[in-house]
Structure 1
Amino acid sequence: MKKITEIKSVRPRIRRKKLRVAAYCRVSTASDAQLESLETQKAYYENYISSRPDWKLADIYFDEGISGTKMYQRPALQRLLADCESRQIDMVVTKSLSRLSRNTMDCLEIVRKLQSLDIPIYFEKEALNTATMESELMLSVMSSVAEGESASTAQNINWSIQHRFKNGNYKLCSPPYGYSWNGDNLQIVPDKAAIVKEIFTKYLAGTKVISIIDDLNKRGVATPRHGPRWQRSTIAGILSNEKYTGDVIFQKTYTAVGYKRRCNHGERNQYLYKAHHEAIISHEEFKQAQSLKANHCQGKGIIKSSDKGQSRYAFSGKIICNECGSSFKRRIHKYATTSYVAWICGTHLKDKAACPMLFIRNDDLELAFITMLNKLIYSRKIILAPLSEKLKLISSDNTVKQIRDLETELMQITEKRQTLLRLKAEGYLDQIVFTQESNLLETRRKELTIELNSLENNGTKGATELNELKRLLYFTKHSKMLNAFNEALFTEYVHRIHVYSRQEIGFELKCGLILRERI
C-alpha cells in the first residue's frame, strides 16, 4: 500500500514593506458645510492611516462639489485610478460605497479594475474589503442600495424644486451677466448692465455679431465667465435670455435618465414668472431681437430643432456613430487641387483613441440614399406592404389590457416592499436578506415602469408610424426612379442615419424601418 507523507510548507520570514495606502473622499455639493465635512474626512484619514504601523500614506484624493453618479466627471478619482495603474498605490480606503460611486456599474468597474492590479479597496461603513470578498454579490447589492438612495434623494430634490417653481419662490443659483444675487433677488450691476444694453442696441441697429465681439475684445471688457475672449455663443446667449426683461422662465433644462442635462423643448412643464426682478431692457427690444435673429437664421438656412445644436444641412444632427453614439460633424477636406465635404464622428474628432470610426464622404451618403429610395420604389410591395399590414394589426384593446396588468403588478411590488419593511422592523429579516429582496423588487419595478411607459406611448407611436408608412407607400407608388440626391425627400422620410462602418450605413425611416446600404 502506498504511503504518502505531507510535507508542511515553511514560509520564510520576510520583512514586509509598509503598504502605500490612499484615501478617497467626496462631497456632492460645494456648500460651506459640505466643504467643512471634506476637511474633516481628510484630517481623519491622515490620522487613521498614520496610526497603522504597517501602512503609510500615499495620498488623499478628494472631489469637491461633484455628484457620485458620474465616474468620468471626477478628476480626483481619475487621478487615483491613474496612480494605481502606475503602481504608486497598494491599497485604497474610503468611507463607504456611496462615496466611491452611487452608480452600481461604475462601482463594479472600479473594483474590477483595481482587482486586476491586485489593489484592494476597503469600505469602512460596510466593513467590506475587496481583497477578502468571495464574490461580487454583496458588493452589487450594497452598491445598488447606494444607487437607490441617490435616485430617491434626486426624486425628493426634484419634487422640492418643482414645488418652488409652481409657487414662484425658486431662487436662481446663477445670476446672468449684468446681475448679482443679493440673497433674496437679482439686482442690477450698473457697469455690466450697460454692456448688455450696448449689445442689444448695436444688434438692433444692424451691427454684425462679429463686429460687436471684436469691439468688446479690443476694449478688454471682461466676459461673463471670465474667459479670455468674447464668443458668438456668449452674445447669442445674452440676446436670447428673457431674464433681461425682468421675467424668468423656470425649467428651461431638466435632468434626463442617466443624470444628463437636456434642453427642455416641451418634454417638461415650464413656469413663467413675470416681473420677477428689475429689467435691463424692455420687452419690445427683446421681441425685436428675437425676430431679427429668426430672420438671420432663415436667411442662412439654419433650422432650429429639438436636437442639440442647429441644422443647416440635410445631414446635420442626423448621422449617428454606431460605435460611440455621437453625432457626426461636417468638415471640408482640402487637398492641393481638390476639396470635398465629409462627415466625422464628434468623439473621433476630439480624441481619435476614444472612437475608431473614420469619416464618410458627403457624396457617398447622397448616393446611398438614392440607391435605398430607388430600391423602395422598385420593391415597395415586398418591403413596405407587409409592414403596413403588421402596423394595422396593433390592437388598442390588447394594449389597454397589458397596461392594466403592469399596473397591477406594480401595486403588488409596493405591497411586497411594505411587507419586507414590516418584517425587518419586527426582527424577522436580517439586513442582508432584506437588501437582496429589496434589490430584486426594485429591479423588477424599474423593468415594469419602462415597459409601462413604452406601452403608453405605443398607441401614439404606432399611429404615427402607420401614417408615415402610408405617405411613403404613396410616394413610392407614384414616383419615378431618382437620378440625383433630393434634400427635401431625405428630410421628409428619413429620421436619421446609423453609421456601422465606413462601408455600411443604415437609414432609419420615420415609419420605423431601418434599411442598410453598402457604400
Structure 2
Amino acid sequence: MVNTKTKNKPIAINVAIYARVSTEEQAEQGYSIPAQIELLRALCKSEQKVVFKEYIDAGISGKSIDKRPAIQELLRDVEQGLIHEVVVWRMDRISRKMSDLLSILDKLDHHNVKFLSYSEKQYDTKTASGKLNLQMFGAIAEFQRNSIVENVKMGMKQRARDGKWNGGNVLGYDVVEVPSGKGTDSVLMINPLEAELVRKIFRMYAAGQGLRSIANQLNKEGYKTKPGNAFSTVAVKTILNNPVYIGKIRYNVRENWNEKRRKGINPDPIIADGEHEPIIDLDMWEAVQKLYGKKSKTSPRVYEGTYLLTGLMRCPQCGGTLGAHRVKDTLKDGTVVVRRYYVCNKFKNNGSRACSSNSVRADFVESYVLERIAEVVQHPKVLDDIVNKINKDRVKSVTPLQKEIAFLEKELKTLDAQKQKYFRLYESDTIDNDFLLERLNELKGKYDTLTQRKREAERQLESNSSNPISIKEVRAVMTKFHNLLESSPHNTQKTLLQTVIKQVHIKKAGKEIEGIELEFDEGIKKYFLTLAPSTNKVEGAFAFPKQKPPYRYTLVI
C-alpha cells in the first residue's frame, strides 16, 4: 500500500539567494545588501521554498565575476547539485557584463537550476522568448554600466585637465582632503622629508648614477618608497619620469588596465598644469629627461665593468651597435688576464651568419677618445680649424636646401591640384567611388613623404641659417667638459661621454677610428652642462656665462 502522505509531499526546493552591491551604489536607495536579502527571504517564504544559503558580494563591482568570491562559491555549489534555484533582487546583480551573464545562465541551465529575478519575474529562462527578453535586458544593463563608467572617466579626465589630482599616493606629497563646494576635494601637499628624498634621487641621476645604483644606495641608507617598500629600479624610474614633480598633472597614461594591462598604453595622455606646488625645478627636470632619453637609446648591457663607450659605436659592416665583451686567458703561470673588447652585438647574439665580430680593443678606443678630447682642448688651433670648417659647410649647404624646399613646395601644390581634379571627376560621375579612394590613398602616400622631407629640410635650413658657431663658446664648453671628465668618478665619466658623444666612427678594418662625433644643442648646454654633477674637484662644473647658443651643431674631432 502506497503511503499517500509521502507520495503527495512536495519535494523541498533549495534556493540560493545572491546579493551584491558595488561601492558606488552603497548610498543609492534600494541597493543595500540588507534590503535585497529581506525581499528575497520574503519571496522564498511566500512560495514555501527553502533558503539553502545566502551568497553575498559586498562592495564589489559587477564588471567581472573573476574577483567575486561569493558568485564563485555559488557556481561550485551548483555544479555539486546542492541548489535547485537561484534568486536575485535584480538581474544586473549577477553581472553587468553580457558575456558573463549569459555564461552563468548557461551553466545554471546545464545543471537544471532555475533562475529567478525578483524585479523581472516575467523572464522565464526556460522559454525562447524568455531567454530573448533576458538577453535584451542584460544588454541594457551592460550598456548602463558602460555609460556610467564612461561618464566617470570623462569627469576624471576633466579634473585632470583642470589641474586637479585624481587620487593615489605619490612620494613627495601627501593627499589631503580640503573643503570644496558642497563636499571635499583631494589635493597634493608637499611632504618636506619625502620631497628632499625626491630631490636627492634627481641629483643622483644627473650626477651619472644609474637606476640600479640609485636603488641600491637608497636601500642601504634605509629609505623606503611611499608604500613602505624597498626601492627598485622601476620605482626609481617611475619617480624620474613623473611630471607631477614639476607641478604637472599626468592622467590616462594607460587605458583599460584590467583587460589590456601594459599593452593599453595611451600615446597621448593628458598633461596639464596642476594646482600643486612643484618639487623639482624645470632645469633639473629637463636635464634628467634628456639624459634618460640618451641612455634609453643605447643597447641593454649584461656587463658594464669599465666600458665607457657602450652603445656609442656602430659596426662598420652591419650598422648595429658594438657591445661589451670580455675574453679571459690563463697564462702558463696560472695568471688570469682579462682583455676587454667592443664587438658587434649581432655577431655576439646570432653568430657569424649575422655579421662578423668587427672587434675593437676597449683600451685602445677609450684611450683614443680621452686623448683626442684632451688634444683639441690643449691645442686651440685644432679646435678653431674644426669650428671654422663647420661654419663654412653650414653656409655652403644653405642654397641647396633652399632650392630643395622650393621644389618640394611645388610638388605638394601639384598633388593638391591632382586631388581636386579627381574630386571634380567624381562629382561629374566620370569615376566611381572605389577608383577615387584608390587614387586619393596613392596621393596621400606621396604627400606625406614629401611633407616629411620638407620638414627635415626646413629644420636643417633653420640650423644652418643661424648665427655662426662661436669658437670662444665651443672652446669654453670643451675645456670645462675635459676638466670635469678628468676629475669625475667612472659612472660620471660614462654619463658625460654618453651625453655629449653622438657616435665614435670606426673604420671597416676595425683597427682605426675615423672620428668622434660630438653633438651640442641648447638642451645640453642649458640643462645639463650647467648643473655640475657630483664632484668636489671642479668647482661650478660647466657654469660658464650664459650666451645664446646655436640651434644645434656637431663637431667631428
Query: What's the TM-score, normalizing by structure 1?
Result: 0.49
Query: What's the TM-score, normalizing by structure 2?
Result: 0.46
Structure with greater contact order relative to length (CA < 8 Å, sep ≥ 6): 2
Larger Rg: 2
